[in-house]
Structure 1
Amino acid sequence: MLAMIIEQTGGPEVLQLAQVPTPEAGPGQVRVRIACAGVNPADWKNRQGMLAMYRPYVFPYVIGFDAAGIVDQIGEGVTGLAVGDRVFTPTNHGQGGWGSYAEFAIADADRVARMPDSLSYEQAAALPVAALTAWQGLFDRGGLKSGQRALIHGGAGGLGGFAVQFARCAGAVVAATCSTANVEYLRSLGVDRVIDYRCEDITSAVQRWAPEGLDYLMDTVGVSTLPNGLDLVRPGGTFVSIPTLVDDGDIAAAAIAGEAKGVNRVFSTMTDVGCAPTLAKIAQLVAEGVVKMPPLHVFPLSQVADVHRLIQTGHGRGKWVLKVADL
């Protein structure tokens, strides 16, 4: 199969198209013929070798977590999925398998969800990592409840855009930070209080909006951009950080400080084991129009190096998607 591989870690220039063996589905797995692959900030960090703490790098190495396409092969023991099903998945890349920057990828069946008929491959490929990370940080680990006051720091990014909408769906009162260019975008998503960090002091704005302290805070950006985040959360509240691998500060010290204040301090990394039911629920919210997709920027697989340069800036609204094949 054709794949975008790396033979060493490094900058975008290490990405190269190559022919590699097509993987086979093992027991409990399916093979997906990929139409589109999602691109996430984790991908450029993966390319640079920052995920070595989680798995060994064996070259040639295929990057990419998110995929949307058609089930092409079924492994032994798989039920509920059939060849020809339109599906999306975070693949098995998180467990060390080859990723989605390729014509085919393998995924355990419990992390593969069928696509609603109204979803395009581009939309579905943009969902898994960003939407699952937001959902798990809000609900599975953050315990967000209806009526709570929640702040999403970095609300205009792919993850943040899903987080503000999921929080609103749950009945929370939502504030979010962004730059001036994204203020109207967040308002269009129904955010109750948009804080433009270029024009306003975040701390002062939050203290006016939630004088008793936030019930919930999600930081999707990094500790240096919200150094006093803990001070914004009331005792008994929850402060969730999404690890960035580049701007997380002293995690152990943050946990101790949270405990001292009585704040539930969580560092939430996406878990994809058994994620198919959550993916299906999220996709249905999108299909019903309850959750809006972020702006999608679609590029051919051959231009992935340019996409990595764009997302590595840490700025920009929406999600980036690679077109792998017309299915």
Structure 2
Amino acid sequence: MFAMIMNETGGPEVLQYGEIETPEPGPGEVRVRVAYAGVNPADWKNRQGMLAAFRPYVFPYVLGFDAAGVVDALGEGVTGFAVGDRVVTPTNHGQGAQGSYAEYVVANVDRVAPVPEAMGFAEAAALPVAALTAWQALQHNGGVQPGQRVLVHGGSGGLGSFAVQFARAAGAEVAATCSTGNVAYLRGLGVDRVIDYVTEDVTAAVKEWAPDGLDLLVNTAGASSLAHGLDLVRDGGAFVSIPTLVDDGDIPADVAAAAGRGIERVYSMMTDIDCAPALATIAGLVVSGEVRLPEIRELDLREAAAAHEAIQTGHTRGKIVLKVADL
């Protein structure tokens, strides 16, 4: 199959279009013919070798977690899917398999969800890692509840865009931070209080909006960008950070400081818990109109290096997806 292949870690230039062996699905696995692959911040960090603690680097190596396409082959024991079904998945890349920047990818069946007929493959490919990470941060780790005051720090990116909407769907009042150019975008997503960190003092704005303290703070943007985040959360509240691998501060010290104030401090990474059911639920929310997809920028698979250059700045709005095939 054709794929974007790495033979070493490094900058965007290490991504080269070429041929590699097509993966075979093992027991309990589905092989997907990829229409679109989603691009995530984890991808450029993976490209640079930062995920060595989580999975092995064996070259030639193919990046990419998110994939949408059609079922191409079923491994032994797989039920619930048939060849030709439209599906979306975060794939088995995090468990050591080759990634989704390729014509074919494999995934455990419990990581595979159907794509609704009303949803295109490009839209579906924008979902897995960003949407599931946001969902789990709020639902599993943040315990979001109706009527709570929730701040999403970094609300205009792919993950942040989902987080603000999932919080609203749960019945919370939502504030979010962003740069000046994204203020209107977040207002359009229904954010109650948009805080422009370029022109406003974030701490002062949050304390005015939530004078008794936040019930839940979700930081998607890195520790250094919100140095006094703990001061914004009420005693008994929750402070959830999405690990960046490059700007996470002193985690043990931060957890201890939060515990001393009775604040639940969680570092939330996407897991496989309820992966397929949650992904199906999220897709349904998008189709029903309750959740709006982030802006999607579409590039060709061969333009993966350009996608990485854009997303590595940390200021990309919405999601980038790579077109692999017309299906």
Aligned counterpart, 1:51: 51
Are the equivalent residues in 2 in contact too, given 1:111–1:273 (CA < 8 A)? no
Within 5 Å, which residues of 2 pair with 1:172-191? 172-191=172-191
Give, in whole Å, the separation in 1 of the partners of 2:307 and 2:272. Answer: 24
Give, in whole Å, the separation in 1 of the partners of 2:9 and 2:323. Answer: 23
Aligned counterpart, 2:32: 32
Deviation for aligned residue 1:16: 0.5
Deviation for aligned residue 1:73: 0.1
Query: Which amino acid counterpart does residue 136 of structure 2 have in structure 1?
Result: Q
Deviation for aligned residue 1:141: 1.1
Give, in whole Å, the separation in 2 of the partners of 1:126 and 1:33. Answer: 16
Aligned counterpart, 2:133: 133
Deviation for aligned residue 1:56: 1.4
Query: Does residue 223 of structure 1 match 2:217?
Result: no
Q: Deviations over 1:244-280 (max 9, x none)?
A: 0010001111100110011000000001354100000
Matched residue SS, 2:25? coil
Give, in whole Å, the separation in 2 of the partners of 1:273 and 1:109. Answer: 13
Q: Could you tell me the TM-score, scaled by structure 1's length?
A: 0.99
Aligned counterpart, 2:158: 158
Deviation for aligned residue 1:113: 0.3
Query: Does residue 69 of structure 1 match 2:69?
Result: yes
Give, in whole Å, the separation in 2 of the partners of 1:154 and 1:206. Answer: 14
Q: CA RMSD in A?
A: 0.6
Query: Does residue 235 of structure 1 match 2:235?
Result: yes
Aligned counterpart, 1:18: 18
Are the equivalent residues in 2 in contact too, given 1:110–1:273 (CA < 8 A)? no
Q: Deviations over 1:63-113 (max 9, x none)?
A: 000000000001111111110000000000010110000000000000000
Deviation for aligned residue 1:119: 0.5
Q: Deviations over 1:270-296 (max 9, x none)?
A: 013541000000000001111001110
Give, in whole Å, the separation in 2 of the partners of 1:126 and 1:272. Answer: 18
Matched residue SS, 1:257? helix
Count of residues paired in the alignment: 327
Deviation for aligned residue 1:55: 1.4
Query: Does residue 300 of structure 1 match 2:300?
Result: yes
Query: Which amino acid counterpart does residue 40 of structure 2 have in structure 1?
Result: N
Matched residue SS, 1:5? strand
Give, in whole Å, the separation in 2 of the partners of 1:227 and 1:248. Answer: 11
Give, in whole Å, the separation in 1 of the partners of 2:14 and 2:116. Answer: 36
Query: Which amino acid counterpart does residue 197 of structure 2 have in structure 1?
Result: Y
Query: Which amino acid counterpart does residue 58 of structure 2 have in structure 1?
Result: V
Within 5 Å, which residues of 2 pair with 1:241-260? 241-260=241-260
Matched residue SS, 1:152? strand
Matched residue SS, 2:33? strand
Matched residue SS, 2:198? coil
Query: Which amino acid counterpart does residue 187 of structure 1 have in structure 2?
Result: R
Query: Which amino acid counterpart does residue 281 of structure 1 have in structure 2?
Result: T
| Runs (5+) with no aligned partner, structure 2 | none
Query: Does residue 7 of structure 1 match 2:7?
Result: yes
| Runs (5+) with no aligned partner, structure 1 | none
Give, in whole Å, the separation in 1 of the partners of 2:5 and 2:249. Answer: 31
Matched residue SS, 1:124? helix
Q: Deviations over 1:206-251 (max 9, x none)?
A: 0000001000000000111100000000000000000000100011
Are the equivalent residues in 2 in contact too, given 1:90–1:272 (CA < 8 A)? no
Matched residue SS, 1:321? strand
Matched residue SS, 1:38? strand
Deviates more, 1:38-47 or 1:270-279: 270-279
Aligned counterpart, 2:167: 167
Aligned counterpart, 1:123: 123
Give, in whole Å, the separation in 2 of the partners of 1:177 and 1:34. Answer: 34
Matched residue SS, 1:135? helix
Give, in whole Å, the separation in 1 of the partners of 2:93 and 2:112. Answer: 13
Deviation for aligned residue 1:139: 0.6
Deviation for aligned residue 1:22: 0.6
Matched residue SS, 1:216? strand
Aligned counterpart, 1:148: 148
Query: Does residue 319 of structure 1 match 2:315?
Result: no
Give, in whole Å, the separation in 1 of the partners of 2:34 and 2:118. Answer: 18
Q: Could you tell me the TM-score, scaled by structure 2's length?
A: 0.99
Query: Does residue 110 of structure 1 match 2:116?
Result: no
Query: Does residue 264 of structure 1 match 2:293?
Result: no
